[in-house]
Amino acid sequence: MRKKILLPTDFSKNAWQAMNYAIELYQNDHCDFYVLNVFTATSNILKSLLNMEPGSELYETAKSNSEEGLAEVMDKLAFKYDHNPKHHFETISTFNNPIEAIKEIVEQKDIDMIVMGTKGETGSEHVAYGSTAVYVMEKVRNCPVIVVPEASKLAMPKEIVFPTSFKTHYKKRELAYLVELAQKCQATVSILYVSDDDLLDVKQAEHKQMLEEQLEDVSYEYHTLHYKAVEPAVNMFVESRDSDMVAFINKKHSFFGSILSNPMVKNIGFHSRVPILVMHDLRN
């Protein structure tokens, strides 16, 4: 069965890195890659949406620039990679708000995974994630996303860190992408329990057992860090072990909470090097 992977690009170096990461990650899978560029005429998206119409000079110029940029991306991909018969590429140029465009393509194409950069062309060195990446991770809840920093290694992950408090249970379909990724890459899932208390209560023990059942087909191991704050604990763990990826389910009101909203996102240090797999709580 072919996988459908969405690759949003604003033609930045980070977007190019994310694209290369996706191609490496899925090198042995039959995939349809959709390379998406969302164009506007000005930096003011609302103004563009209100004032740009097909046929107008502003619209046609922006559309032409988008299509030319996508053609250049395809030329670079063809130059870098020998033709992989398992991979098919399609470009999409569309005028819209980036988040709405991504949502529409996810629905229309039945996308399995979004792979994108953490920051775009205008990304600040002092911000962990650009606004588009944050909104995709938060708002596109019917599709998982891998966000890839520009400095990340282009290699299949061998250790995927999965932080948990054991305070909530996980469903098999919520963890399906993590299990599939770990199996594909022959990676170990490092379950990281962050707490200032070693003892689990009855509910936590039940949730731990359920998690073990979900991960029975992959290699996993447990680690405990005695720490009150989750973010620095994960940072320390990832840095000390040179881990390759962090995965979590974006549940509302638990553990990380709204981890992707500011200012909490500024406290996450592993963003500079490690891709993050964001899955979603299907009960939300």
Whether 277 contacts 232, CB under 8 Å: no
pLDDT of residue 235: 86
Which of 176, 137, 168 shows the shortest CA–CA distance to 271? 137
Kindly report, residue by residue over 42-65, the tens digit of the pLDDT: 555 556 556 667 777 778 888 999
Low-confidence ranges of the chain (pLDDT < 50): 126, 253-255, 257-266, 284
DSSP 3-state of 225 = strand
- 149 vs 130, 132, 143, CA distance in Å? 11, 14, 19
Q: Break the chain into its structural domains and give their ranges.
A: 3-148, 159-280
The values of phi and psi at residue 91, to 5°, are -100, 145
pTM listed for this prediction: 0.88
* CATH number for domain 159-280, candidates 2.40.10.10, 4.10.410.60, 3.40.50.720, 3.40.50.620: 3.40.50.620
pLDDT at 127: 53
195 by DSSP, 3-state: which? Answer: coil
48 vs 51: CA distance, rounded Å: 5
Find out whether 101 and 7 touch, Cβ atoms under 8 Å.
Answer: no
Fold for 3-148, please state it: Rossmann fold (3.40.50)
- What's the first-to-final CA gap in the chain, in angstroms? 28
Backbone angles phi, psi at 53, to 5 degrees: -130, 145
Strand partners of residue 162: 191
CB within 8 A of 254, min separation 6: which ones? 165, 167, 168
Domains 3-148 and 159-280 share a fold: yes
Whether 106 and 48 have beta carbons less than 8 Å apart is answered as no
